[in-house]
Amino acid sequence: MNYTDIQARLAIIKSLPISELDKRQPLLVALAADIVNGETCDGDDTNSSLCLEYQDWWHTLGSLMRDAGFHMLGHGHFSAAYSHNMLPGRVIKVGFKKEDSGAAYTAFCRMHQGRAGIPNVYHVARHAGCYTVVLDHLKSCDEFDNAVHAKYANAAYEFIECTGGDADWHAQYVSREFIETCKMIREFFEGIASFDMHTGNIMFDDNDVPYITDPVSFSHDSEREDGFPLDPEALLAEVEAVAQERMVERCRKRKAKCDPNGTFQVNRKAAMKRRKHNRKLRDKVLDAQLMG
């Protein structure tokens, strides 16, 4: 895709009548994805072992995205966020690595829209060489100059990364609903993914309302023929399946503990018997000492 092609696409988007302004978002997302697909040869030129700055196509991609009016707000190891004047208040996140785990948390967010701390997801799709997500335009965490940011970031770290924290103490400074969301994220992804909760993964709106953006990390299973599944529905189904397996295993263990003939109960009864026997011996020794 060259400059002329990009300007022609932009002209179509700009000419949309007021009654069709809702088409701007999908058209802009499609334009961004087509630029990425063209520069990365549908992802074939993407080296999964290198971060964005070291990709051969990174700088030419940046030029084309600027030609299309996309302003890069920032980027991580393998994704970048862009704003566009024709899509005010929203951000298009582009994941350049097809097996990027960010789509897993995106799928989770779609399942829990409206909960405290969960970002609004307006779109998510997989393309030939990337995936795209449309989110609200948020501000970075300012933990040093904003006390509210610092307290929410600390609570998110305590309950997602560290599994601990005193809920009553943190509830003095952050909402209990936010704490419950953090616990839910930890419980849902524990054993499925590793956690990466830091100040770069919590953002805020203009009213300092917090949103947890990407607190988990998945490792890629190289034995899969199609790589890590990025179709949101398929990915969510996979995450739920693993969580379901863990829940079944917990239920199985609880049931085993209740089985009167099971190992747990047999061992528990044996231990009680030993303790009872030891108490009798101790009492006999004490009685003998008193009588002596």
Residues of the chain with CATH 3.30.200.20: 1-138+218-230
177, 236 Cβ separation under 8 angstroms: no
- Give the residue with greater pLDDT, 260 vs 168: 168
247 pLDDT tier (thresholds 50, 70, 90):
low
- Long-range CB pairs of 143-152 (<8 Å, 24+ gap) are 143/199, 146/208, 148/204, 148/208, 149/199, 149/202, 149/204, 149/208, 149/210, 152/178, 152/202, 152/204, 152/210
DSSP state of 190: B
Angle between helix axes 102-111 and 232-258 (nearest 10 degrees) is 80
pLDDT at 261: 77
Tokens of residue 284, six digits: 């006999």
Question: What is the average per-residue pLDDT within 180-190?
Answer: 91
CB 81 within 8 A of CB 73: yes
CATH number listed for the domain at residues 1-138+218-230? 3.30.200.20
Full-prediction pTM beyond 0.75? no
Q: Which helix (H) or strand (E) holds 66?
A: helix 58-67
- In the numeric block, the tokens 């693993």 are attached to 242
What confidence tens digit (pLDDT) does each residue in 75-125 have?
877 889 999 999 999 999 998 875 556 677 888 888 899 999 999 999 988
DSSP string, 204-271: E-TT--EEE---EE----TT-TT-S--SHHHHHHHHHHHHHHHHHHHHHHHHHHH-TTSHHHHHHHHH
Nearest by Cα to 198 from 144, 147, 160: 160
Interval 203-227 mean pLDDT:
74
Note the pLDDT of residue 253.
76
Pairing of the two strands 202-204 and 216-217: unpaired
Owner of token pair 């009167």: 260
3-state class (DSSP) for residue 117:
strand
